[in-house]
Amino acid sequence: MTLEEVAKLAGTSRSTVSRVINDDPKVSDEVRTRVKRIIADTGYRPNASARNLAGKSTQVISLLVPRSPVETFNDPFYSLLLKGLSSVCNDRDYGLMLLMLDKSDPHMQHRLLNTHNTDGFILGLSLVNNNPFIPYLTERNIPFVSIGRHPYYTRINYVDVDNIGAAAEAVHHMIKLGLRRIATITFSLQVTAGADRREGYLRALTEAGITPDPELIVEGGFSSLQGYEAMRRLLPFRPEGVFVASDTMAVGAYRAIYEAGLRVPDDISVVGFDDNEQASHLVPALTTVRQPIAELGAVAAEILLDVISEEASQPVQQVLPCALVVRRSCGTPVSNIQMDGKSRVEVGVYLPGQLDTDLTLAFFSASHNEKCCRLI
Amino acid sequence: MTLEEVAKLAGTSRSTVSRVINDDPKVSDEVRTRVKRIIADTGYRPNASARNLAGKSTQVISLLVPRSPVETFNDPFYSLLLKGLSSVCNDRDYGLMLLMLDKSDPHMQHRLLNTHNTDGFILGLSLVNNNPFIPYLTERNIPFVSIGRHPYYTRINYVDVDNIGAAAEAVHHMIKLGLRRIATITFSLQVTAGADRREGYLRALTEAGITPDPELIVEGGFSSLQGYEAMRRLLPFRPEGVFVASDTMAVGAYRAIYEAGLRVPDDISVVGFDDNEQASHLVPALTTVRQPIAELGAVAAEILLDVISEEASQPVQQVLPCALVVRRSCGTPVSNIQMDGKSRVEVGVYLPGQLDTDLTLAFFSASHNEKCCRLI
DNA sequence: GAACGCTATGGGAGCGTTCCCACAAACATA
DNA sequence: TATGTTTGTGGGAACGCTCCCATAGCGTTC
């Protein structure tokens, strides 16, 4: 079924049918209703390829995920990101393609090259080194937005959270509780977020007049196994607290701590990063940094669509705030939390009935009527 | 940059360049290398829309997710499904689009209608009632594969796990341990999988000569909150064991049990379904049914691509097996597990170092050197 | 040496749209 | 009445490919 065939049935021309479909006002009401009726009767669907070919835009964007270790997928990060992306795409009538590429895939180039029907890309992970995608897309003038800034390519479009600030705040939280020997297990340093969180850790220590101790800085990665191993390397140095730069790794860290016969937070305080579902299931529930991941996706999609339609000349860069979610893993009595004047505190006792998506933080902890407190 | 322009630079014709791009053998080596060089130099990318228009196929399939409660996304189900889907799509050079549609979205029809560039659909959830997608796609002769069978539309392509059999096995496991008053919290009955798991529960009881007690059957849903509430409704009836038809709900069920001052498995045994990451984090670790979700996605994609290319006349229907993963939540000493002759048992003590993606079941439980045992 | 095949190549037609221009009819303006 | 403007409509051209057929050049066969 084509425009021409619909036109024939409606006793009019291809052009007029096209106008009806595209809501062009210059069609008489009579013809318009006649055409619409035929379209409904025949179940005609415009051919997207033809439209795109003639119209020079595909109305589709792609999320590019450098398919890293399987952990990529155990992480709810991409689920949430997709949620944000797809809601914006739906609103603006764009399609969303998913492109999982291993940067070491020999066909990577080919797949990117032949990626069908894409007006632009969302880069799902900001690889620090050997990021083949940014130069590739830049050279070809293909619009893209990176999830996460990039330390060297500073003139790209990106959305990021304030990793440095949030990490500093997390560490600061431990410092305020009187801890001094604070270690960190870094997130993958392959990724900007990893480097930034370490940076925030260092900044908080320095600001507090504590000299960072290299022994207390261990490189982790994405997986809880890496968190586990890193924690085991750390334990001999007897840290009082650990800033674990992802909740997934924090799970592994807990395990290492328990295996060593130590307790959280009595022997070691732990702060995570992400506010995974896991964070609230851990016992004790994990104090961590909440990132607005779905919003990150939504904003990225909006920026990309704007860039595509407007050809902005200046890079668009946006940084979203995080929030520290205080639970039990640092043993904080809520009343001890001191404010720095910049954040607002929300204190609440989460009761059983309130368990819902946004309050999963209540989870197991709630069964002890734990007080939860969020800086927002 | 078009074919014609490349041809001009290479001193040949559009047709020949097209042949080079499509690996047509009928091109002399000399011309071929010349053309390839020009393509590389100019960064020429074939226009997908034009290809599709001329070639009558878009090389893209869509995953259709009826965007249900937010729970959809806390569930790792779609992450894993996407993993399977995208690996097949990559292998076969297909693109994967993501289409999140609420069936109550007034523009649903419109969005489906205008979905760009799609050769076929994967239906991500088998809605039992008011499933508007199946008739829509069937009428229009658009190829699709459903994840999960459908009770009424029996002649569609689908991939499913053996929900009935697996649920029966799970309940059978409790029966073998001597439990009699076994309750169930159903999965959303809006979904085939929910109905099937209840069916399996009933079957296992009946086969064991136990009359199902309506008081012990409570409808749950997708979320852990629903699991929590269902369990609270169930507790007054003093079940000895509960088959909770999704791990996410089992988390809520645990909580209700603990709040009532009872213990798992001492007072109540629990069996879940899914083998989420959460399942192994619970204390005690949850005995549950493992579904091969990524494989489900991969098989679905393969079937869809086959259907697209071959126009199979018979519906393709495939059922994948599940495995019962026995942990602590029924208090089973491993040696007590009796075999039914159909399954093989794998018993292992998961030690700290073995923590990896596939063995997350070891998780916290592993710190107690728990014995894990899987029927495989 | 004529007829035939095979190989590499070129060009036309067509895919189903959108965009633009042409044009007829009706109406407003001088 | 002649001229311009507006409104609705129709058709040509183009978008950048693929597919098919035509053909030139060459070797093979009878």
A14 C-beta less than 7 Å away from strand D:
yes
Residues A264 and A183 in one domain: yes
Nearest CA in chain B to A72: B79
Write down how long chain B is: 376
Is residue B328 scored above 60 in pLDDT?
yes
Residues B273 and B182 in one domain: yes
**C-alpha distances out from residue A238 to A80, A231, A242, B298, Å:** 36, 11, 10, 46
A284 shares a domain with A304? no
B371/A contact by beta carbon, under 8 A = no
Test mutation, A3, A21, A49, chain B, max B CBs within 10 A? A49
In a domain, B53, yes or no: no
Token code pair at residue B235: 């507790």
* pLDDT tens, per residue, chain A with 376 residues: 899 999 999 999 999 999 999 999 989 999 999 999 999 999 888 998 999 999 888 889 999 887 654 556 667 788 888 889 988 998 888 889 988 877 677 676 666 666 667 889 999 888 888 788 899 888 888 899 999 999 999 999 999 999 999 999 999 999 999 999 999 999 999 899 999 999 999 999 999 999 999 999 999 998 888 899 999 999 999 999 999 999 989 988 988 898 888 988 899 999 999 987 777 767 788 899 999 999 999 999 999 999 998 767 789 999 999 999 888 888 754 444 444 443 333 333 333 333 222 222 222 222 223 333 333 2
- Does any CB of chain A come closer than 8 Å to the CB of residue B58? yes
Question: Stated in angstroms, how far is A48 CA from D1 C1'?
Answer: 51
A287 and A302 share one domain: no
Q: What is the mean pLDDT of residues B333-345?
A: 41
How does pLDDT run across B4-23, given as a tens digit for each residue? 999 999 999 999 999 999 99
Contacts of B73 in chain A (CB under 8 A): 76, 79-80, 82-83
Residue B169 has pLDDT above 90, yes or no: yes
Q: Give the count of beta carbons closer than 10 Å to the beta carbon of residue A9.
A: 17
If one counts the domains in chain A, the total is 3
Q: What are phi and psi of A122, to 5 degrees?
A: -105, 120
| Predicted pLDDT of residue A157 | 96
Interface check A277 vs B, CB under 8 A: yes
A365 occurs within a structural domain: yes
Contact A95 B117 (CB under 8 A): yes
What is the pLDDT at residue A229? 93
Inter-residue contact A322 to A193 (CB < 8 Å): no
Is residue B160 pLDDT above 60, yes or no? yes
Q: How confident is the model at residue B236 (pLDDT cuts 50, 70, 90)?
A: very high
d(CA A242, CA A250): 9
Domain shared by A184 and A262, yes or no: yes
CATH of the domain at A37: 1.10.260.40
Is any Cβ of chain B less than 8 angstroms from the Cβ of A262?
A: no
Tokens encoding A127: 């690889």
Q: Which residue has the higher pLDDT, A63 or B350?
A: A63
Q: Tell which of A303, A320, A337 closes a domain.
A: A320
B36, B56, B62, B73, best to mutate vs chain A, most A CBs in 10 Å: B73
Average pLDDT, chain B: 82
**If contacts are CB pairs under 8 Å, which of residues 23-42 in chain B contact chain A?**
none
B55 in a domain, yes or no?
no
B355 Cβ nearer than 7 Å to chain D strand: no
DSSP state of A191: B
Cβ <8 Å between B228 and A355: yes
Residue A110: Cβ within 10 Å count:
11
Q: Is residue B355 domain-shared with residue B309, that is, in the same domain?
A: no
Residues on chain A touching B74 (C-beta within 8 angstroms): 76, 79, 277, 357
Verify whether the Cβ–Cβ distance A116 to B117 is below 8 Å.
Answer: yes
Assess whether A53 (CB) lies less than 7 A from strand D. Answer: yes
Query: Is residue A178 a contact partner of residue A145, using CB atoms and an 8 Å limit?
Result: no
Verify if strand C has an atom below 7 Å from the CB of A14.
yes
**Contact (CB<8Å) B114/A45:** yes
Angstrom distance (rounded) from CA B168 to CA B174:
10
State the nearest residue by CA to the C1' of D14: A54
Q: Using one digit for the tens of pLDDT, what is the confidence trace for B28-51?
A: 999 999 999 999 999 888 998 999
For A257, the closest chain B residue by CA position comes to B367
Q: Is the pLDDT higher at A352 or at B147?
A: B147
In a domain, A53, yes or no: no
Taking an 8 Å cut-off on Cβ atoms, the answer to whether B60 and A93 are in contact is no
Q: Note the pLDDT of residue B11.
A: 92
Please report the pLDDT score of residue A366 as a whole number.
27
Residues 28-67 of A with CB under 7 A from strand C: 44, 46-47, 50-51, 53-55
CB A316 within 8 A of CB A284: no
Q: Do A116 and B95 touch (CB under 8 A)?
A: yes
- Does residue B67 lie in a domain region? yes
B371 pLDDT higher than 50: no
* Residue A244 shares a structural domain with residue A168: yes
User: What is the rounded distance in angstroms from the CA atom of residue A255 to the CA atom of residue A251?
Assistant: 6
A371-375 and A323-326 strand pairing: antiparallel
User: Are B245 and B370 contained in the same domain?
Assistant: yes
Q: Does B73 contact A at CB distance below 8 Å?
A: yes
H/E segment holding residue B212: none
B245 touches chain A (CB under 8 A): no
Task: Give chain A positions within 8 Å (CB) of B355.
Answer: 224-225, 228, 252, 255
Q: Are strands B345-349 and B371-375 parallel, antiparallel or unpaired?
A: antiparallel
Residues contacting A95, CB < 8 A, separation 6+: A58, A59, A60, A61, A89, A117, B97, B99, B115, B116, B117
Domain that holds residue B191: 163-291+322-375
Judged against a pLDDT cut of 50, whether residue B176 lies above it is answered with yes
The predicted pLDDT at position A265 comes to 86
Is residue A51 situated within a structural domain? Answer: no
User: Would A52 be classed as within a structural domain?
Assistant: no
Reported as type and span, the H/E element at residue B54 is helix B48-55
Q: Are residues B102 and B217 in the same domain?
A: no
Q: Specify whether A229 is located in the same domain as A172.
A: yes
Is residue B212 very low, low, confident or very high in pLDDT (cuts 50, 70, 90)? Answer: very high
Residue A213's pLDDT is 96
Closest CA to B248 of B276, B210, B218: B276
CATH number for the domain including B303? 3.40.50.2300
Best A86, A97, A235 member to test B by mutation, with max B CBs in 10 Å, is: A97
pLDDT on residue A102: 73
- Regarding whether A314 and A207 lie in a shared domain, the answer is no
A36: CB within 7 A of chain D nucleic strand: no
The pLDDT of residue A346: 37
A 189-218 near B (Cβ less than 8 A) = none
Q: Are residues B343 and B243 part of one domain?
A: yes
For the packed helices A14-21 and A3-10, what is the interaxial angle rounded to 10 degrees? 100
Distance from the Cα of B36 to chain A's closest Cα (Å) equals 13
- Specify if A190 maps to a domain: yes
